[in-house]
Amino acid sequence: MEATVLEAAQRAKAGGMTLYTIGYGRADAPDPLDRIHESLLRSIATSPAHFRQTTDLDALTTIYQDLALALPCAPGGREVPSTQP
């Protein structure tokens, strides 16, 4: 599965996409539900600056807010149509 994810990320990056990854948890967390695969997330991200990690909910909110401000709008200022039903 890791290889499939890394291949997809590589294709996306080769196509000019910028990939951000966010890990909420720790790689060494005692509870498996709190663990993240930090090395995989770092590999997927476009650069080290595109990877974020936190164990704090308030910090997670800030990460998402920062990303929302950093991402460019759709060309011409139009909303991007949702693909969700």
Residue 69, pLDDT score? 84
Q: pTM of the prediction?
A: 0.78
What pLDDT, on a 0 to 100 scale, did the predictor assign at position 37?
95
* pLDDT value at residue 70: 82
The tens place of each residue's pLDDT in the chain, 85 residues long, gives: 799 999 999 999 999 999 999 999 999 999 999 999 999 999 999 999 999 999 999 999 999 988 888 887 655 544 544 444 4
SS3 for 21-85, per residue? EEEECECCCCCHHHECCHHHHHHHCCCHHHEEEECCHHHHHHHHHHHHHHCCCCHHHCCCCCCCC
